Each structure stands twice: as C-alpha cells, then as structure tokens.
Amino acid sequence: MRKVSRFAAAAAAVACAFCFLAVPRANAQGEADPSAALSAALVAACRANEAQFTNYLTSDSAAAFRALPSEQRSALLKRFALSDLPGKPLSSTDQQNLAILRCQTPSISVEYRFGAARVHENLAFIPVTVVNSGEETEFGLVRESGGWHLISLGLVLLDIPQLSRQWADQDLIASEEGAVATLRSLSDSIQTYYRAFGRMPESLAELGPAPKDQISPEQAALVNANLAAGKQGGYQFRYRIVPDPNGNDTKCELAATPESYGKSGRRSFFLDSGGNVHAADKHGTVATPDDPLLANEKTP
C-alpha cells in the first residue's frame, strides 16, 4: 500500500481510519442487512472493482468517486483493502453468526471480524476488528434508496472530495521531502566521487551507472540512471562546482526544482556549498542561496 506516513495530524487521522478496513462477500445493491451491504462494499475493494464499490456509496459520494482521477480511485480502494494488489475475498461466520472476512493477495492476507450491528432507524453502526493488528473501528451506514450505504469510518465522514484534496497535499509533501533527501544523498555521492578520483565530477552524468567492474571517472556508479540524467521523484536536479577560498574545486551547489509545479511539488530547494538547504515556493523556478533556510537547518 501506498504509505502516507508524511501527513499533517488531521490527514493522519483520516488515513488511520482507512487503515482499519475490511473485504468480504458480495451482495445485491439493495441489501436490507447493513452488515451484508458493508461486506459487499469491502469485497469490491478487495477485488479492486470500482464499479461494484460505488454501489455502496451514497449518491453524492458515488458521483464524486467517479469524478476522481483513476490513480486516486485506485488509491482509495487500496486503502480499504489494505493491499496494493487485487485479492481474493473469503467469508465465513463465527459461533454467533457474525461475519469473518479475509482478503488474500500474493503479498498479504488480512482477516477482519464483524461485531453486531447497531441499527437506529435509517442509521447503522458496525464494529470491525482487524485480527492481524488488533485494531478496531466502526463503520457508519445510512439507508438510501432502499439499500445501505457507507457514510463514515470511525469518527470520519466518508467525504471523498475532501479526502482526495488531502491525499494530493500529502503527495506534494512526500515529493518535497524526497527532493530534500535526494539533494543530501547526491551531495554525499559527489564527495565520494571527489575522494575516489581526486576531482569534482564535471556533471551528474559522471556519477551514473557503469558496466560491471568498469567503474571510472566517466561512470562512477554512485547514482541511478535517472538521477544521473538530473531527474528523480518528480524533481529536476542541477549541479554546479563552487571553488573554495583558495580557488580549488572542492565544493558544489545543488538545486531541486519541481518538474510539474503544483503536481510534483510546490517548493524549490537549494543546497549551498556549506551543506545547508534553502527552500521557497518559486512557482517552478530555481531556488537560490538568498531563499530562506529550510526549517531546522543550521545557520551558514
């Protein structure tokens, strides 16, 4: 599953609620039993069946779900199924005739146990426990057009448009964090190159992959092919040699700029010759040493 560990607190609460979801047997859209309707929704997520899944959303949520980009629809189903791969749902019952559900994929098998549904007129609440982790959450359903439909997970309302905006923001944060990590790793690789060959690389390309047992100053095998070409994780990377006070080429500056501003990142980053990272929203242009230091950076 896609990991969304890089969230703000509110977004983390939403994602955490999604992490407790299950995948059971399918039923008709007009199912009168809320537990059976929940099972049908979750088995659809296990199978990555978007069309079937929408049958168990409210009409507004279903319309919003269909309008999402395909990658966000897929990500939502993966959150429900707790797996990056489509799985095979299996169902059984315990001695109290409560549902036991399992989603089996090539990489993981997760078991869920339903508790007794609490029904209040047009609302129903069903506790579900993830056996593997011992976590428990409660699903809320509402009766609409003769069937039961998902409205909440734990205390979080199933507001798909809002969730999609949160996920997009989380992706931007993750991309920006990755760019900073790449800058630091790239700086380390350049210093490794300097120690090995006694000079700074002329370009990032000289850090790239080499044939087996043929490492050379032109192909140092210190970074992957993408980074050697100046691109990784939705960012473009620039490199410049900076002479030290004695005129020797021992230092460098690096810049990271989003390839697609607003999609792969908002902020541009600059790693100065002293090893400090500067960051600013430059609307897709290159950051400079005059931009503010990234939070928690040392003073040059």
pTM of the model: 0.55
Residue 166, pLDDT above cutoff 80: no
Whole-angstrom distance, CA of residue 165 vs CA of residue 117: 31
Residue of 173, 177, 200 whose CA lies nearest to 273: 200
Q: Are residues 179 and 263 in the same domain?
A: yes
Q: Are residues 152 and 184 in the same domain?
A: no
Residue of 52, 105, 112 whose CA lies nearest to 83: 105
Q: Is residue 299 part of a domain?
A: no
Q: Is residue 106 part of a domain?
A: yes
Residue 20 pLDDT level (bands cut at 50, 70, 90) = very low
Q: Is residue 248 part of a domain?
A: yes
Give the bridge partners for 53, in sequence order: none
Q: Is residue 272 part of a domain?
A: yes
Q: What is the b/e burial string over 149-160, where b = at least 16 CB atoms within 10 angstroms of the residue's CB? A: bbbbbbebebbb
End residue of a domain, out of 115, 137, 158: 158
pLDDT in tens, 238-269: 999 998 877 788 899 999 999 999 989 999 99
Q: Is residue 286 part of a domain?
A: no
Number of domains forming the structure of the chain? 2
Q: Is residue 163 part of a domain?
A: no
Q: Are residues 55 and 129 in the same domain?
A: yes
Mean pLDDT score, 67-89: 87
End residue of a domain, out of 129, 158, 187: 158
What pLDDT does 4 receive? Answer: 33
Q: Are residues 30 and 96 in the same domain?
A: yes
Q: Are residues 19 and 149 in the same domain?
A: yes
Domain that holds residue 60: 9-158
Q: Are residues 104 and 150 in the same domain?
A: yes
Do residues 46 and 23 lie in contact, with contact meaning Cβ atoms separated by under 8 Å? Answer: yes
Q: Are residues 14 and 114 in the same domain?
A: yes
Q: Is residue 138 part of a domain?
A: yes
CA angle 38-43-47, nearest 5°? 150
Total Cβ atoms within 10 A of residue 300: 11
Whole-angstrom distance, CA of residue 100 vs CA of residue 23: 10
pLDDT in tens, 108-164: 888 889 999 999 889 999 999 988 777 888 899 999 988 999 988 765 666 676 777
Q: Are residues 228 and 112 in the same domain?
A: no
Residue 196, pLDDT above cutoff 90: yes
Q: Are residues 18 and 146 in the same domain?
A: yes
Mean pLDDT score, 28-43: 79
Q: Is residue 3 part of a domain?
A: no
Strand pairing class (156-157; 231-232): unpaired
Q: Are residues 79 and 139 in the same domain?
A: yes
Q: Are residues 190 and 120 in the same domain?
A: no
CA angle 292-263-61, nearest 5°? 125
Mean pLDDT score, 37-46: 91
Q: Are residues 175 and 109 in the same domain?
A: no
